[in-house]
A and B are shown apart, each in its own frame.
Chain A
Amino acid sequence: MTQKVFILVGTKKGAFIFESEPGRRAWAQRGPYCETWPLNHMVGDAASGAIYAGGGNEWFGPAVWKSTDLGRTWTHSSEGLAYEAGEQPIKSVWSLAPRNGSLYAGVEPAGLFRSDDGGQSWSHVAGLREHPSRPHWQPGGGGLILHSLVRHPTDDHQIWVGISAAGVFYTADGGATWQPRNQGTRADFLPEGERYPEMGQCVHCLVMAPGKSERLYQQNHCGMYRSDDGGERWESIEAGLPSSFGFPAAAHPYDPETLYLLPLNGDSSGRYVPEAKAAVWRTRDGGATWRALRKGLPQENVYFGVLRQAMATDRLEPAGVYFGTNTGMLFASADEGESWSRVAEYLPPILSVETLVAEA
C-alpha cells in the first residue's frame, strides 16, 4: 500500500479516474464508468475511501453511484431521493458532500437530501424547500439546481448551499431553517435600483477557505466575492481580474488567503477564456490582488470554457491544481498553479473535477 492521488472526473458520458504517485508526473487513465451516465459531480470521501458520483440519466432518472474499490466496481441507488408525489420529479443530482459519516446531495429542481448509510438511502431535508422564498426561485441556464454544498468542518449543523438562481442559503440547525446569505452580491440582470436583493442572485460556485470557516468565496454570474462572516455580508474582489464572469472557484487546501479562479470572457460573449488564451487566476491575499498563471496552458485560439464544478485542488505539498474543460481536456499543476501540463484531451465534456488522496 502506497499513497496515491486520484483525479475524479465527472463527464457528460460517464466517470473517469486518473491515478498518479504523489509526485504527480504521469497519470494513468481509467473509465468510463457508471454506464456513461451524465455525472454532474464525483467526489471522494477521504475518511472511508469511497467514491461517489451523482447525476441523472434521461431514461432512468437521478441516482448516486458508489464505488468502494477506487472506481473498479460500482453500484447505484436513488432510494428516497424523491419529492412528494405530485411535485415535479427530481431530474438529476448536482452536488455531493461527504463528511463525518453522512453524505448530502443537492439536486435539480433545487433541494437537499441526506444519507446516513453511504448513499444507499436518502431522506429529504425539507426545511430548505419550505423557505418562504421558494416560489420565487428562478432557474438559471443550467436549470434550477442546487450545485454548491459547503459543510462546516466541525459543526454538522451548519451548511451553506448555492442555488442558481436563488442565491446562497445557510442553516445552523441541520437544515430545519434557512436564511438567505446574499447581502452585497449583485444581480445585474435586474432593473437599476433593484440589483442588491435579499435573494435571487445567480451564484455560480461557493467554497470555504481551509481552517477558517467564516471565510467564504463565491464566483457569481455577476462578480467575484469574499465573505469573512459566513456569508452575512459579501464584498467584491473582482478588481484585477480580466472578467467578472466565470464558473468555478477552488480553495487552496491549507492557505485561506489563496484561491483559484478561471474567469471567462462574459455571459454573452461566448463564455470562453478571455482573448482566447487559457489562464488560471490566483490570489495569495484573499482577493486583493490577482495573478494569471499561464505556463504550459495554450495561449492561442482557445475557445473552451470551464464549468462550475470542474476545478479542484489536492491536499499534497505543494498543492496540486486541476481543471477540466467543456471540450474534454484535463489540465494539472503539481506546483500550486505555477506550471501546467495536459493530462487528457479527448474526454467527453467535463462537468466536475475533484481529487482524492488515498492508500492504494
Chain B
Amino acid sequence: MSAAPVIVRLPDALLALFPGAPRRLEIAAATVGEAIEGLDRRWPGMRDRLCDSTPAIRRHINVFVEGERATLETRIQPGAEVFVLTAISGGRPPADGRA
C-alpha cells in the first residue's frame, strides 16, 4: 500500500540551494525519513542538506510533526504538516581557531 500524501514546508535557506523547489508541497510519506527520500528524488542532493551520514537529521535542522520535534523514524499521519526549519543555532559560522 502506498503512503498517503502529507504536506511539507521547506525553509528559504534550503530553497536557495534548489532553484524551483516550492515552500510548500505534498509528498507521499509515512515517516519523516520517507518524506526526505521523496524530496531527494525530486531534488537530488536535498537529503544530504537535511541529513548527515549517521544517518540522522542534521544537528542544526529541526523537523516538526504536529508540533513535536521529529526524527527520521517519526511517523506522519495522512494530511499532517511537516515543518523543516533551520535552527537558530546553525547561523554561526565555524570557529575561527585554525591552528
**Chain A interface residues (CB < 8 Å from chain B):** 12-13, 35, 38, 56-61, 63, 76-79, 81-87, 89-92, 140-143, 164-165, 202, 204, 221, 247, 267, 307-308, 326, 349
Contact = CB atoms under 8 A, between A and B. Distances in A.
A307 to B, nearest CB: 5
A13 B14 contact: no
Contact of B48 (A38, A79, A91, A247): A79
Contacts of B97: 141-142
B96 A61 contact: no
A239 to B, nearest CB: 23
Contact of A60 (B53, B58, B89): B58
Interface string B55-99: 100101100000000000000000000000011011111111111
Given A59-B13, A164-B99, A326-B96, 8 more contacts: A58-B94, A59-B61, A61-B52, A79-B48, A89-B53, A90-B52, A141-B98, A267-B99
Interface string B4-21: 000000000110110000
Nearest to B98: A142
Contact of B45 (A78, A89, A142): A78
- Main secondary structure on chain B at its contact with chain A? loop
B2 interface: no
Interface range on chain B: under 10, 10 to 19, 20 to 34, or 35 or more?
Answer: 20 to 34
B24 interface: no
A63 B48 CA distance: 9
Contacts of A92: 94
A308 B97 CA distance: 11
A202 B99 contact: yes
Nearest to A78: B48
Across the A-B interface, the 8 shortest Cβ-Cβ residue pairs = A141-B99, A142-B98, A141-B97, A89-B52, A82-B53, A59-B90, A60-B49, A58-B90
In this complex, the member of B58, B92, B94 whose beta carbon has the largest number of chain A beta carbons within 10 angstroms is B94
Nearest to B61: A59
Contact of B17 (A76, A79, A84): A76
